[in-house]
């Protein structure tokens, strides 16, 4: 499968990124809807090693390698994605109000950097409609899955009450239909959204959601562009409000050190950068989150994961789980299962009986 994708990728990369993404989702359609097709898809990959399983958030993950939010925004392909070997799937981000993408072009490849830039801005059919699609899926999926919620574009960020109500509407729609809910306050593509990471705003929003769903596994996704004081502010709220986990990190607005010619980067313009250039900063933030919050919370590391060595670095920095998106685009459909197998082998080579022992979650 990896060899076939290496042949197909140059052809796919001739297509506009958004079109290639839509075609990829369409190709997964039969696997989503036909159980025998999913079984056939799983059989094309060697079985995930049982030594790769971990227990986090009170859930059993067959692998630490999951799919990051943003790939399947409307929850159309969760079962097919699980069949590719992901240990969990994060769906969305959804908003209370259905909304279109930001004006095109809004998705760009930077192959020299193994990176993407997107400024999509949470296009989705609306939380209520996506929730209908999720009904009956919880408990029927072979892996845990979560749903990410964000702010509707039409809601003004300077009206905190309206923002909180908007998140509450999404939360109420999806909370009973997923294993965990991710609060996305860190996308750079919704105007002003990142201000919700400020202490007073985060405390109001996260506190409200925590009270609204005391039994819901609640995680928050933070930006890589926060300085140390800002990270401390949001983590102090996570600690006080008893949020269950932190996803570190979202995409970055930084552009330093890219191999892509500056003129090309400038022509692309605004948007969140993901992929290999984000890896070092995500590692730093994961390390800081774990040091600040200890083992009480789950930490999910995301940013530049494309090989087992990257996942291992995240785990050593303090991550319980890792997620990939851009690496999935560049490495292909065999990547999640391959990374899971290679990571299990790395654990054995380091003298650990399992990846859970490596992560520190073994009982």
Domains of the chain: 2-359 (3.20.20.70)
- Please report the DSSP string for 11-62 in residue order: HHTTS-HHHHHHHHHHHTHHHHH-HHHHHHHHHTSPPPPGGG-EEETTEEES
In the annotation, is 187 catalytic?
Answer: yes
- Alpha carbon of 68 to those of 140, 173, 352: distances in Å? 20, 21, 27
**DSSP-derived 3-state class of residue 342:** helix
pLDDT of residue 47: 76
Q: Are 56 and 322 in contact (CB under 8 A)?
A: no
Q: What is the pLDDT of residues 48-81, one digit of tens each?
A: 889 999 999 999 999 999 999 999 999 999 999 9
pLDDT at res. 363: 52
Query: Sorting pLDDT into bands at 50, 70 and 90, what band is 360?
Result: confident
- Determine contact, residues 81/328, Cβ cutoff 8 Å: no
pLDDT tens for 105-144 read 999 999 999 999 999 999 999 999 999 999 999 989 999 9
CA nearest to 303, candidates 287, 346, 234, 84 = 287
* 195: CB partners within 8 A, 6+ apart: 157, 201
pLDDT tens by residue, 180-221: 999 999 999 998 999 999 999 999 999 999 999 999 999 999
Round to whole Å and give the CA distance between 247 and 241: 16
pLDDT value at residue 37: 95
Band (pLDDT 50/70/90 cuts) for residue 103 is very high
Torsion angle of the four alpha carbons 185, 191, 195, 201, in this order, in degrees rounded to the nearest 10: -70
Residue identified by tokens 């845990």 is 144
Higher pLDDT among residues 361 and 307, named by residue: 307
| Catalytic residue selected from 63, 148, 187, 334 | 187
Pairing of strands 59-61, 54-56: antiparallel
């Amino acid at each position: 499968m990896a060899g076939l994708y290496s042949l197909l990728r140059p052809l796919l990369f001739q297509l506009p990124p958004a079109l290639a993404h839509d075609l990829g989702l369409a190709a997964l359609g039969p696997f989503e809807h036909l159980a025998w097709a999913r079984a056939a898809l799983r059989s094309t990959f060697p079985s995930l090693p049982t030594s790769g399983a971990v227990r986090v958030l009170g859930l059993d993950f067959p692998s630490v390698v999951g799919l990051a939010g943003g790939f399947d925004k409307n929850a159309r392909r969760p079962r097919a994605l699980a069949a590719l070997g992901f240990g969990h799937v994060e769906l969305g981000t959804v908003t209370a109000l259905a909304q279109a993408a930001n004006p095109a072009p809004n998705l760009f490849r930077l192959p020299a950097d193994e990176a993407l830039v997107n400024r999509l801005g949470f296009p989705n059919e609306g939380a209520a409609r996506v929730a209908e699609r999720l009904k009956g899926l919880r408990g029927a999926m072979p892996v845990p899955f979560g749903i990410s919620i964000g702010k509707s574009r039409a809601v003004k960020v300077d009206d905190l009450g309206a923002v909180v109500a908007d998140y509450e509407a999404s939360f109420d729609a999806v909370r009973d239909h997923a294993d965990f809910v991710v609060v996305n306050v860190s996308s750079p593509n919704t105007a002003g959204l990142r201000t919700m990471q400020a202490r007073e705003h985060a405390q109001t929003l996260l506190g409200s959601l925590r009270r609204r769903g005391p039994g819901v596994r609640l995680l928050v996704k933070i930006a890589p562009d926060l300085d140390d004081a800002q990270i401390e502010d949001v983590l102090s709220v996570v600690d006080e409000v008893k949020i269950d986990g932190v996803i570190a990190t979202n995409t970055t607005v930084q552009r330093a050190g890219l191999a892509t010619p500056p003129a090309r980067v400038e022509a692309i313009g605004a948007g969140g950068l993901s992929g290999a250039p984000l890896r070092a900063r995500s590692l730093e933030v994961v390390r800081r989150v774990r040091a600040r919050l200890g083992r009480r919370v789950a930490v999910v590391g995301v940013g530049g994961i494309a090989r087992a060595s990257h996942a291992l670095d995240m785990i050593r920095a303090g991550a319980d789980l890792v997620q990939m998106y851009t690496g999935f685009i560049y490495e292909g459909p065999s990547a999640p299962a391959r990374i899971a197998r290679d990571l299990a082998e790395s654990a054995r080579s380091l003298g650990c009986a399992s990846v859970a022992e490596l992560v520190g979650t073994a009982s």
